[in-house]
Chains A and B, each alone.
Chain A
Amino acid sequence: AQSVSQHNHHVILSEAASLELGCNYSYGGTVNLFWYVQYPGQHLQLLLKYFSGDPLVKGIKGFEAEFIKSKFSFNLRKPSVQWSDTAEYFCAVTRINDYKLSFGAGTTVTVRA
């Protein structure tokens, strides 16, 4: 079945550590890719998105993600996390002419001060 996979269910880090969250999708054809974040008690917010162009996209709060088409991947990175990055992170995909978001299972990131 076509799907979005996030490799890690729960990641625990110390402040200033680097973060990388994996995301792979199995859809063929052209896709749009998103990372959403949900801070405790808050709603889903867009961190960054890729539609076309430079495969390295920069988002808010120092996050970036790289689209590697050959690997069907869109991994999220941040060089140095802060305690405030504690949240759940969701990778999501839409396809051309099919604009519903298909989400990964989410990764809970806990940053220890």
Chain B
Amino acid sequence: EPEVTQTPSHQVTQMGQEVILRCVPISNHLYFYWYRQILGQKVEFLVSFYNNEISEKSEIFDDQFSVERPDGSNFTLKIRSTKLEDSAMYFCASSARPDNEQFFGPGTRLTVL
């Protein structure tokens, strides 16, 4: 069964450093998403992406964040200068259509020290 994969599973970084979180969506999906979950809080939407551009972004997704689909398979989330409050679990998701089920990856746990 096809699945969304994410790497790394755990990333530890120093405050101010850049991180890139990687996702490989399901191959025939066209809509891609990033969500995050700070420990003890709700899963929150960050950004949606379709046709090589951002469809929607939340207030959390400020200038420090960017997304890219550098090739036909990867979908990345970059945080330019990490802050302590960026520590969270980051989930990638994909769907075949915007109104279809979103399939989630296992998440990357980002720890900013």
Main SS class of interface, B: strand
Contacting pair A106 B104 (CB below 8 A): no
Chain B 33-59 against A: per-residue CB contact (8 Å), 1 yes, 0 no? 101000001111100100000001010
The 23 listed contacts between A and B (C-beta, < 8 Å) are A32-B99, A34-B101, A43-B104, A43-B105, A43-B107, A44-B43, A45-B104, A46-B103, A51-B99, A92-B43, A94-B99, A98-B56, A99-B48, A99-B99, A100-B33, A100-B48, A100-B58, A101-B33, A101-B43, A101-B45, A103-B42, A104-B42, A106-B42
Contact among A44, A90, A99 for B98, CB-based, below 8 A: A99
Contacting pair A43 B99 (CB below 8 A): no
Contacting pair A42 B48 (CB below 8 A): no
Docked complex Cα distance between A106 and B106 (Å) = 17
Say yes or no: A43-B91 contact (C-beta < 8 A), given A99-B31, A99-B99, A101-B102.
Answer: yes
Q: With A43-B4, A44-B104, A99-B98 given, name 9 new contacts (CB 8 A).
A: A34-B101, A44-B91, A46-B103, A49-B101, A98-B56, A99-B95, A100-B48, A101-B93, A105-B41
Query: How many residues from A make CB contacts under 8 Å with B?
Result: 22
* A106: chain B residues within 8 A (beta carbon): 42-43
* B33: chain A residues within 8 A (beta carbon): 100-101
* B98: chain A residues within 8 A (beta carbon): 99
* B104: chain A residues within 8 A (beta carbon): 36, 43-45
Which A residues are within 8 Å of any B CB, using their own CB?
32, 34, 36, 42-46, 49, 51, 90, 92, 94, 98-106
Contacting pair A42 B42 (CB below 8 A): no
Docked complex Cα distance between A34 and B4 (Å) = 19
* B107: chain A residues within 8 A (beta carbon): 43
Q: Which 4 A-B pairs have the closest CB atoms?
A: A44-B104, A99-B98, A43-B106, A103-B43
* A105: chain B residues within 8 A (beta carbon): 41-42
* B102: chain A residues within 8 A (beta carbon): 101
Residue of B nearest to A42 (CB): B106
Most buried by A among B4, B41, B104: B104
CB proximity to A under 8 Å, residues B78-113: 91, 93, 95, 98-99, 101-107
